[in-house]
Chains A and B, each alone.
Chain A
Amino acid sequence: MAREEKTITMNMGPQHPSTHGVLRVVVELDGETVVRAEPVIGYLHTGIEKTMESKLYYKALPCTDRMDYLAPMSNNLGYCLAVEKLMDIEVPEKVKWARVCLAELTRLNSHLVWLGTHAIDLGAMSMLLYAFRERELIIDIYEACGGQRMMTSYIRIGGLAHDLPADFDKKVRNLIKLIREKINDYEALLTNNEIFINRTRNVAVISAEDAIAHSLTGPMLRGSGVNYDVRKAQPYSGYENFDFTVPLGKKGDAYDRYLIRLEEMRQSLNIAEQALDGMPEGPYRAHVPGVVLPPKEDVLYKMESMIFHFKIITEGFKAPKGSIYQAIESPKGELGFYMTGDGTNRPRRVRVRPPSYINLAALPKLSEGRMFSDVVCAIGSTDIVLGEVDR
């Protein structure tokens, strides 16, 4: 009997633990080789972009937390910067520095979770426990600042929700010191681990040209050696005042991206430290009557603040006609908000450029022609969050 040459089609997910959420990948296999891999998304669709259109500008903010729930502060920051650009609001210096510090903590947070989950996908169990242990400390800082551990909503239009807590400086400095040591532990566990190297070296390779053609951003792009970081290319929120390097890879494989993310964590620690050192004194919200909520303590004692407080909360503020695009470097790549105001108190359209979604589109490129088990590595090193992919 002649052996038939046939490929089989398999579903990976949507409830497979290594797909990091509800991602379904339809893989066509020839033996163990992937002939075709096709990500299928939409299982976590929440309609956030559409919801934002029906909400006042300040009320749409909690939606952004829920897109990339591993990096809530980055999303808040992107949205607030976009609205501030649309409304032409200049925020106080202290706010800028605090935001940079928080955004870098967020990068740490996201990269720690990535490191843990990526490592456990490839069989390194204890990494997950260690990474989550350190992440807990960052989450504690979120809690002290904004009152919530994941859905912080701390960065607000025109400033911050509350002033930074009194022991913020001390807490963050302790954290920086601790994580600096711990990164060495992570390196000891993974960087020279032969099993890890074998699973990631020359796996999920993407060349610089392909990376650009797929409009990848973030560590995915820099892993292939393309030097593009929004923090350097179009500095926002005062990033031009900070001294940091953007690590680049050479081969564009999963191992390079691992090294890059580890180095980014170190750089984030440096940036956060610089932000603490240079944190100026000042108000924590811009003074823009009628647009930015006045600080609560003023509301209780000053008449005009009280009036504006009522006015903003009940009817919001009217944005001018026009469209803006504001991008930030979220832990996963370029997170952009394209916003159109139409002269009313609600946005006409909010379009989010989600880095996870666009990076995920390169999955076929990363995995086709490779072994089936490398698909797991490709998904892991892409660093996706399904909340952001589906929005």
Chain B
Amino acid sequence: MKDIMKSLGNVLIKMPQGFFVTLKHLFRKPVTLDYPRQKKPMAPRYRGRHYLERYDDGTERCVCCGLCAAACPADAIYMEPEETEKGERKARVYEINLLRCIFCGFCEEACPEEAIFLGQDYEFSSDNRDSFIWTKPDMLVPHPRKDNPFKRIYRRVRKVYGVPDKTR
């Protein structure tokens, strides 16, 4: 008998309280986004598709040292070096296989030249497997850029690694 009374109490009193919780949500603003028209801004540290940085004058920062490839747990990076006319080392071939890549960000952390970064872009699905091999032209940022690239890199490095804002 006691059990039945308790069940009855649950059904008549407690369960309507639950219904009320659901009802309240009818009048709330939805939390969902109207993707793809609306997009969520990603966090500054977000690890999306890679890009290669340049110096102010447009030369590539990457010196093809291979540290990113050494750090990569998925062995997704392939590179071949060459020498410029000035006798500097740079990458002739630099490829990232996005199908292998697990977006761990180890390459970004390993790079001693601040050359490779993982950007904010996450929309790169395709139905063609070949298009997932990203080469240098795909990844290098366009050269004459509106904002000061050096400042941008500096800001980004500071943001990502939490370098205190003071001159060293």
Binding site for B on A (CB under 8 A): 55, 59-63, 126, 133, 136, 140, 143-148, 151, 153, 161-163, 165-166, 185, 188-194, 197, 284, 293, 295-297, 299-301, 306, 309-310, 313-314
Q: Tell yes or no: B133 within 8 A of A by CB.
A: no
- List 8 additional A-B contacts (Cβ < 8 Å) besides A143-B45, A162-B162, A296-B161: A147-B43, A163-B162, A165-B162, A192-B10, A192-B14, A193-B14, A194-B10, A309-B110
Chain A residues closer than 8 Å to B67, beta-carbon distance: 310, 313-314
Q: Give Cα distance in the complex from A144 to B160, angstroms.
A: 10
Q: Does B93 contact A (CB under 8 A)?
A: no
Per-residue CB contact flags for chain B residues 80-122 toward chain A (1 = under 8 Å, else 0) read 0000000000000000000000111110011010100010000
Contact B168 A151 (CB under 8 A): no
Stretch at the interface among B17-25, B54-62, B123-131, B140-148: B17-25
B31 touches A148 (CB 8 A): no
Residues of B contacting A143 in the complex (Cβ-Cβ under 8 angstroms): 42-43, 45-46
Query: With A59-B106, A310-B67 in contact, is A185–B14 under 8 Å at CB?
Result: no
CA distance A63 to B102 in the complex (A): 10
CB atoms of B14 and A145 under 8 A apart: no
Let me know if B71 and A313 touch, CB within 8 A. yes
A-B contact pairs, 8 of them (CB 8 A): A59-B106, A62-B104, A140-B43, A144-B45, A145-B45, A148-B47, A192-B14, A297-B161
Main secondary structure of the interface of B (DSSP, over half): helix
Smallest CB–CB gap between A166 and chain B, Å? 8
Residues of B within 8 A of A151 (CB): 102-104
Partner of B15, one of A153, A194, A306: A194
For the complex formed, measure the closest distance between the CB of A45 and the CB atoms of chain B, giving whole angstroms. Answer: 18
Knowing A151-B103, A188-B17, A189-B22 are in contact, say whether A301-B168 is a contact too (CB < 8 A).
Answer: yes
A146 touching B14, Cβ below 8 Å: no
Chain A nearest CB: distance from B13 CB in Å? 8
Residue of A nearest to B163 (CB): A297
> What is the minimal beta-carbon distance from A283 to any residue of chain B, in angstroms?
11
CA distance A151 to B21 in the complex (A): 33
> Whole-angstrom distance from the CB of B4 to the nearest CB of chain A?
11
Write out the residue numbers on chain B whose beta carbons fall within 8 Å of the beta carbon of A163.
Answer: 161-162
With a cutoff of 8 Å between Cβ atoms, the chain B residues found around residue A301 in the complex are: 168
Complex Cα gap A295–B73 (Å): 20
CB–CB B42/A162 < 8 A: no
List the A side residues contacting B70 at CB < 8 Å: 313-314
Q: Are A147 and B18 in contact (CB under 8 A)?
A: no
A61 to B106, CA, bound (A): 11
Residues from chain A with Cβ under 8 Å of B103 in the complex: 148, 151
- Distance, CA A145 to CA B67, complexed state (A): 24
When the two chains form their complex, are residues B118 and A147 in contact, meaning their CB atoms are under 8 A apart?
Answer: yes
> Given A62-B102, A144-B43, A147-B118, is A162 in contact with B160 using a C-beta cutoff of 8 Å?
yes
A189 to B22, CA, bound (A): 8
* Docked complex Cα distance between A146 and B43 (Å): 9
Residue with the greatest number of chain B CB neighbours at <10 A, chosen from A140, A299, A313: A313
A369–B17 CA distance with the chains assembled, in angstroms: 35
Q: Chain A contacts of B20 at CB under 8 A?
A: 188
Question: Please, how many angstroms separate the alpha-carbon atoms of A82 and B42 in the complex?
Answer: 32
Contact A313–B104 (Cβ < 8 Å):
no
Chain B 1-31, CB within 8 Å of chain A: the 1/0 string? 0000001001100110110111001000001
* Contact of A153 with B18 at beta-carbon distance under 8 Å, contacts A144-B43, A145-B45 already known: no
Separation of A61 and B102 alpha carbons in the complex (Å): 12
